[in-house]
Chain A
Amino acid sequence: MSNKKNTAKNIDVSYVASLARIRIEDSEKQKLQDDMNEILGYINMLSELNIEGVEPTMHACDVKNVWREDVPEKKNIKEYLIANAPANVDNDLVKVPQVIPGEEEA
């Protein structure tokens, strides 16, 4: 799908949902579309503002990069991480579906 379907007045919900990796059923599409366009209509009020020369604020306070020595820290939480994954192999690896399409899984 192409990006062209998005406009400043209409969000292409199917396209944006594919970018966001969320499946949207046809039955919920219209409602979402209407909601999004209503919100879009509201936030478009920013277009009336002339903000030339204004610097953007990325963070609420002046955040500087914080350096530290590159020393590895040991935090043994592997057990938790494996347990939190929906599927695992031998309590040691996170199990996922086949990543590269092609031959069937052995």
Chain B
Amino acid sequence: MNVGLKTLTVSEASELLSSGQISSVQLCSNYIERMEKVEPQIKAFVYFDKEFVLNAAEKSDIRRKKGIQLSPFDGIPISVKDLICVKDQPCSCGSKILKGVKSPYDATVITRLNEKGFIIFGRNNMDEFAMGTTCENSAYYPTKNPWDLNRVPGGSSGGSAAAVAASEIPASLGSDTGGSVRLPAAFCGVVGLKPTYGRISRYGLVAYASSLDQIGPIAKDVHDVAILLDVISGKDYFDSTSLDKEDVCFADVVKNAGSSLKGMKIGMPKEYYIEGALDESVFNDIKQTEKLFKELGAEIVEVSLPYSKYALASYYIIATAEASANLARFDGIRYGHRYKDSNNLHDLYLNSRKEGFGVEVKRRILLGTFVLSSGYHDAYYLKAQKVRTLIRQDFNNAFKQCDLILSPVSPCPPFVAGTLTDPLQMYLADIYTISVNLAGICGISVPSDIVKDIKLPLGIQLIGPSMGEAKLLKAAKIFEDNRPVKKFVPNY
């Protein structure tokens, strides 16, 4: 049987498998066929092992036949960003410095997916060490946007979002440090969730900025994202920052979301909607969404996030400082690439890191080293952490007046590839997403409309308080059911 992959969701695949209309081998073969067809143009994957996938699918089918399936999702393929460890598979973070490195163990999210019978299908391309907004900063190749091959898919989890949008896979796990799940999701017309800091264990996630990093699911609809959140969230012995799971099934919350937002207050931060700061298409989309929320029964309230103008500066100090420390371990000694002609240790460090890191990673390590260096620590790093406190307080105050906040994901639709070359301009694309990471709260990017003349997807962001995912997902689902465009399927 040939399945219509273009709109197939995890929940629909689960029904097909459970009712016996399709086997896991058939499902995975369909995805493999699709992937082999489109991958030469999209380039969303950096690793794929056909034999591994088909073997796992066969085992899943045997379990189903015996009636001992691990969950309703047993046999469904899912891919992961190239910085999540899967035992015995390469893990290169899109970097030359980690080429050839194999993971000695499974990340906790992989263990949890395996426990439910999900099949780890392959590894998705990304901006090197998750540093980027376009998925062009990969040591492999840039990933293309399935809506328009001349455009970027967004970053850094661009491979994950493009693979889902191009129906090479029904869902993928990315990571979000400053918007790296939400922005590519918006650019590719799929759903991306950045959960509350601590919601998902980061054991086996290669660290970029540890006080901000969070794994997040990318899928075709809100229900699928909720299903994955149910599977991968919760306290983990191996990550002391992980939080206990409350007694709630997010997939049920979404299923029973209903059709009304009555009683819900949606905040619109006045600092976010300064005319001229947003592309017209994004501005109009937000206005249209505001109207829709009102029609659905929500009350729109103006809120203020007075320190939001300082978020980006604070973010790029904190993130680069932490990155400079986290990436110090890649020194040519223990992992991957080593400069060949060194006869002393110092020279080996200098040259291995010179050859192994791309230019954006070098820039961020240098900036991070500077803001932590003697004489500058207090003026930059400590100050940025204090500003972070103010940004958190902004959100705490706003959430006293509203349940959720409505915001753009990106100030503009997807960029044309190769055009975003100035680093500061690139950083500015993250302006609506980074505050969520600084505050440690949750945010979701949901496709909202298609820009008429250029046929590119737009996404809106809903932001919720710490541990506010249930409310967030419920509102996202009701929005999804009522938005002007029902299905987001690129022509590709």
Partner-B contacts on A (CB < 8 A): 3, 6, 8, 11, 13, 16-17, 19-25, 28, 32, 35-36, 38-40, 42-47, 49, 51, 54-61, 63, 65-66, 75, 77, 80-81, 83-87, 94, 96-99, 101
Q: How far is the CA of A59 from the CA of B365 in the complex (A)?
A: 20
B386 and A56 contact, CB distance less than 8 A:
yes
Cross-interface CB contact of B337 among A16, A32, A40, A86, cutoff 8 Å:
A86
Cross-interface CB contact of A60 among B310, B313, B345, B439, cutoff 8 Å:
B439
Q: How far is the CA of A23 from the CA of B75 in the complex (A)?
A: 47
Q: How far is the CA of A86 from the CA of B351 in the complex (A)?
A: 14
B424 and A8 contact, CB distance less than 8 A:
no
Q: How far is the CA of A66 from the CA of B310 in the complex (A)?
A: 32
Cross-interface CB contact of A85 among B310, B333, B371, cutoff 8 Å:
B333
Partner-A contacts on B (CB < 8 A): 100-105, 196-198, 211-212, 240-241, 243, 309-310, 312-314, 316-317, 324, 328, 331-338, 342-351, 353-354, 357, 359, 362-363, 365-367, 369-371, 373-376, 379-380, 382-390, 392, 422-424, 427, 437-441, 466
Known contacts A54-B390, A80-B102, A86-B337; A97/B348 CB under 8 A: yes
Write out the residue numbers on chain A whose beta carbons fall within 8 Å of the beta carbon of B354: 22-25
Label chain B's interface by main secondary structure: helix
A32 and B363 contact, CB distance less than 8 A:
yes
Chain A nearest CB from B196 CB (Å) reads 8
Q: Which of B328, B387, B439 has the most CB of A within 10 A?
A: B387
Write out the residue numbers on chain A whose beta carbons fall within 8 Å of the beta carbon of B314: 46
A19 and B386 contact, CB distance less than 8 A:
no
Cross-interface CB contact of A43 among B331, B349, B350, B380, cutoff 8 Å:
B380
Q: How far is the CA of A36 from the CA of B383 in the complex (A)?
A: 19
A38 and B424 contact, CB distance less than 8 A:
yes
B338 and A16 contact, CB distance less than 8 A:
no
B370 and A36 contact, CB distance less than 8 A:
yes
Cross-interface CB contact of B387 among A49, A61, A94, A98, cutoff 8 Å:
A49
B373 and A60 contact, CB distance less than 8 A:
no
